Amino acid sequence: MKTFNHNSGQYADIDGGKIYFEEIGNKEKPALLILHGGFENIENLNSIASYLSEEFRVIGIDSRGHGKSTLGSKKLTYEQLQSDAETILTQLKINTVNIFGFSDGGIAAYRIAASKRIKVKKLVTMGSSWSEEDIIKAEGILKTITPESAKEIFSENFETYQRLNPEPDFEMLTQSLAAMWLDKTSTGHPNESVEDISAKTLLIRGDNDFLVSLESLSELKDKIKGSSFLNVSFAEHAVYEEQPQVVEIMLKQFFNE
């Protein structure tokens, strides 16, 4: 089993930012893009990448401003995360891809799958909102996040960020993330464009997720034709940490079908 290590990757210069990515697994196998959540980095999803790397060419991207990737001068938006990922895939000459996206990474993944600039064969999102209504419901929680509170809540990720990032500015990253989370314009959540997703899709949510409601994901399942929905008991937002065995079983079954 292979994992991301922040030692074996490379940079792509995109729209004023240096975006770091790594590849693990077998280059002869189908491509799988892994996109992490806010304040995280590619190593956060190593528990998933390790077993998926046995059957896939796995590409992990440190989202703009996260891990080893710089923020650059462009505004941080879900549209920009989408563009960064699509640019890297194009540079790697990958025309067809599978995607696993957690939280913010899943929101960018919806946009990639809906745009169809890159063909998405299979899509898994976990704890990922999709509509303006989701923003309104979670606004109270999201507005409480400050650089100081984020350092405490995401203490391990903060330390990793300070160690890895070429241009660390945690206050700016926090402000940029808050603006992205609350973005109700066309550069934010995919909204009704999710109906353009034709990839085979699995939506995963923790039963006690405080950011994405059961009703919202049920509605999304109806909008993405043929999609499946897994609501995991005894889990909140980071289902892959709280119920790793359930996630492994379902991901292996979904991707090996």
CA 215, distance to chain mean position in Å, is: 21
Mean pLDDT of all residues in 242-251? 98
Q: Please check the confidence at residue 121 and state whether its pLDDT lies above 90.
A: yes
Beta-sheet strands, E only, within the chain:
10-14, 17-25, 31-35, 57-61, 96-102, 119-126, 200-206, 228-232
Identify the pLDDT of residue 172. Answer: 97
Mean pLDDT of all residues in 186-202? 98
* CB-CB contact of 98 with 33 (8 Å): yes
Q: Which fold would CATH assign to domain 10-251?
A: Rossmann fold (3.40.50)
Q: Please check the confidence at residue 211 and state whether its pLDDT lies above 80.
A: yes
* CB-CB contact of 178 with 202 (8 Å): no
Please write the tens of the pLDDT for every residue from 126-168. Answer: 999 999 999 999 999 999 999 999 999 999 999 999 999 999 9
Taking each continuous run of H as one helix and of E as one strand, the counts in the chain are 10, 8
Domain spans in the chain, listed from the N-terminal domain onward: 10-251
Q: In angstroms, rounded to a whole number, what is the distance separating the alpha carbons of residues 191 and 75? A: 20
* CB-CB contact of 32 with 99 (8 Å): yes
Whole-number average pLDDT of the chain: 97
Identify the pLDDT of residue 215. Answer: 97
Model confidence at 124, pLDDT cuts 50, 70, 90, reads very high
Q: Please check the confidence at residue 174 and state whether its pLDDT lies above 90.
A: yes
Residue with tokens 């994405």: 212
Mean pLDDT of all residues in 9-21? 97
Amino acid at 168: P
Pick the closest to residue 130 from 109, 145, 116 (CA basis): 109
Please write the tens of the pLDDT for every residue from 46-67. Answer: 999 999 999 999 999 999 999 9
Identify the pLDDT of residue 74. Answer: 87
Q: Please check the confidence at residue 1 and state whether its pLDDT lies above 90.
A: no
